[in-house]
C-alpha cells in the first residue's frame, strides 16, 4: 500500500515538474532517446536497462531537461541517482557522453 502511494506521489510530482517541452513533439529529443536506448544498452539505471527507461516519465523528463540544457549534467546525475537507487555510474556516463553540446 505504501509503495503504491509512493508511486502515485512520484507520478504526480513528475507531472507537476515536467520539462517545458514535455507536451509537444520534439524530433531531436526523440532521436536522442533512441540513440541512448541503443548505445547505452545493456547499462541499467536502478534495476532497469536504459532502453526500458525511455518510456518512463521521470527518466524522460529529467533527460529532456538535460538535453535542452535546463539542468546541468551534475544536477541530472543527482536527480537520477536519488530517484533510481543502485550503481548508475556506467549508464549515466553513457548518457552524458551523448548529450549534444
> d(Cα 83, Cα 80) in Å, to the nearest integer?
5
Range of the domain at 34: 2-97
Q: Which residues of the chain have pLDDT under 70?
A: 1-24
Q: What is the pLDDT of residue 41?
A: 92
Number of domains composing the chain: 1
- pLDDT tens column, 11-29: 655 554 555 455 567 999 9
pTM for this model (two decimals): 0.76
CB atoms under 10 Å from CB of 80, counted, come to 21
Look at residue 25 in the predicted model and tell me its pLDDT.
Answer: 77
Q: In this predicted structure, what is the pLDDT of residue 5?
A: 55
Amino acid at each position: 500500500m505504501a509503495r503504491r502511494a509512493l508511486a502515485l506521489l512520484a507520478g504526480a510530482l513528475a507531472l507537476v515538474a515536467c520539462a517545458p517541452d514535455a507536451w509537444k513533439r520534439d524530433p531531436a529529443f526523440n532521436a536522442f532517446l533512441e540513440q541512448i536506448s541503443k548505445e547505452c544498452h545493456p547499462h541499467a539505471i536502478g534495476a532497469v536497462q536504459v532502453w526500458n527507461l525511455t518510456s518512463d516519465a521521470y527518466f524522460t523528463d529529467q533527460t529532456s531537461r538535460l538535453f535542452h540544457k535546463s539542468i546541468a549534467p551534475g544536477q541530472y546525475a543527482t536527480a537520477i541517482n536519488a530517484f533510481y537507487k543502485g550503481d548508475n555510474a556506467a549508464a549515466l556516463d553513457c548518457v552524458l557522453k551523448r548529450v549534444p553540446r
